[in-house]
Structure 1
Amino acid sequence: KPAKRKSLKGIKVLLAEDNDLNAELAAILLEDSEMIVTRAADGQEVVDLFANHPAGTYDIILMDIMMPKMDGLQAAKAIRAMQAERPDAEEIPIIALSANAFAEDVQTSLDAGMNGHVSKPLNVAEVAKVIARNLNKS
């Protein structure tokens, strides 16, 4: 039987993407599903936004892997390392966004503390499925 599709309306996404065009396209895709998107232009900005906002500000992080200043793997590790002062740092789903979809790339993302991997260019149905799966784990 088909899984009943949960609405993604109101899901608060922190989108880490250094390429303006990719970020704009991803934001449009997500906002079409009525998600609320906050964009970070690099890994350091993602870490700062997460650290400087209270728990619950974001429901999920979509993290590009290849970014300047701090890449997505380093940013994911930095967020996971905040768990002493931020219990949600361990729980927030972090999904890798990468043009590299080889098994070892996916494993590298998971090893860095990410919960999943979506290949680019983004397919909105795939992204929606991954987000829904990661937010309905409870």
Structure 2
Amino acid sequence: MEVERRQNISFWIATELLAEEGCIVETANDGVACVDMIEKADADYYKMILMDIQMPAMNGLDAAAIRNLDRKDAEFVPIIAMSANAFAEDIINCKLAGMNMHLSKLLDETK
């Protein structure tokens, strides 16, 4: 339960920081829902995707396959990984999955 609580804190911090900057934040509870949201959205609707790596139903590495959707924006929308897994191998796997950047949890709003 402690890990889940810390993940929720990181989620809350990220959501609040983005909202304070004027971003409209939409969330998905798992990777399947994330891919579904992207597929149903108008082209260029999403400007950035923060992708948790450890999600139910479909993990973030698999969900990053949105890069292969048949739509022009899928190739270019920035995907930023958020994960407590911050070893070099984890960061490499995120890049190989098509993600642009890796942020380690717990997020620190001062960074």
- The interval holding the TM-score normalised by the smaller chain is 0.7 to 0.9
Deviation at 1:55, TM superposition (A): 1.1
- TM-score by length of structure 1 reads 0.70
Alignment of 1:25-104 (within 5 A): 25-77=13-65, 79-82=66-69, 85-104=70-89
Aligned partner of 2:3 in structure 1 is none
Give the letter for the 2:68 counterpart.
A
Give the letter for the 1:29 counterpart.
L
- TM-score by length of structure 2 reads 0.86
The 8 Å contact of residues 13 and 109 in structure 2, kept in 1 or not, is answered as no
Deviation at 1:48, TM superposition (A): 0.4
The 8 Å contact of residues 23 and 39 in structure 1, kept in 2 or not, is answered as no
Deviation at 1:80, TM superposition (A): 1.1
- Structure 2 spans left out of the alignment, 5+ residues: 1-6
SS at match of 1:30: helix
Deviation at 1:113, TM superposition (A): 0.5
Identity of paired residues, percent? 48
**Larger RCO of the pair (alpha carbons < 8 Å, separation 6+):** 2
Q: How many residues are paired up? A: 105
C-alpha root-mean-square deviation of aligned residues, in Å?
1.5
| 1: CA distance, partners of 2:61 / 2:81 | 8
Give the letter for the 1:76 counterpart.
A
